[in-house]
Amino acid sequence: MRKSASAYFHPSNAVTYLSLLAGLLAVVTAKEWRSWSAAGGLLALSALADTLDGRFARLFRRDTDQQRFGVELDSLADAVTFGLVPVVVLCLLLTPESPGLRVAWIGAAFFYVVSALTRLGFYDLHHAQSASFVGLPTTVAGLVWSSVFLTAPSTAVTVAVLVGTGIAMVSKIPIPRPRGLGLVGFGGWAVLLLILHALAGRHPALG
């Protein structure tokens, strides 16, 4: 019997959907509240959820099809949340200081999104063949943006970060998969950003 897409709704993917929801809310808060802190905090929450979603999914009994679907869903969610959402937030909150910077920003933003999608496609093809990541993971890029949003960045800064993270994502830099203390440290980075953005939101002079 032929399956429909709805057959793949499964509780094992709940944390992946939570990551996607946090990314969507980052865009909503940027538009409605014009808040760097709210958007940055939600990006950090999304990265934290993405760090935990695989471990959460493995708590459930799944057939091979469901496992493969979970991997694909995770990459698609990352493409939206860490590839597209930061650019949309920047588009909503930034006012380029000159026409030249506007053109540079558009080019850098396109390069960043293309790099993120290429990085994720590469990971889907090769992730099982290596004990380390090749290139900067998109989740790390999400935390970089959450960190940058603490400063209400200028257009020039965002162009530099867009280009820098885009290059890093498609580079040959080997990055060990976080395990043990490394994983705790990565999660701690996300939690620290959540706290800092919450404080900045309560005290705008800090953000």
Q: Where are the domains of the chain?
A: 11-206
Strand 174-176 and strand 132-134: the pairing is antiparallel
State the amino acid at position 25 in one-letter form.
L
d(CA 30, CA 83): 16
206, pLDDT greater than 60? no
pLDDT of residue 86: 98
Query: Over the stretch 94-140, which tens digit does the pLDDT of each residue have?
Result: 998 899 999 999 999 999 999 999 999 998 888 755 678 899 999 99
User: Per CATH, is 11-206 categorized as 3.10.20?
Assistant: no
- Whole-model pTM above 0.75? yes
Which pair of tokens denotes residue 141? Answer: 């890029």
Q: Which residues contact residue 178 at a Cβ distance below 8 angstroms, ignoring those fewer than 6 apart? A: 51, 185, 186
**Span 184-202, mean pLDDT?**
92
* Higher pLDDT, residue 31 or 2: 31
Burial class (CB in 10 A: 0-12, 13-18, 19+), 175: middle
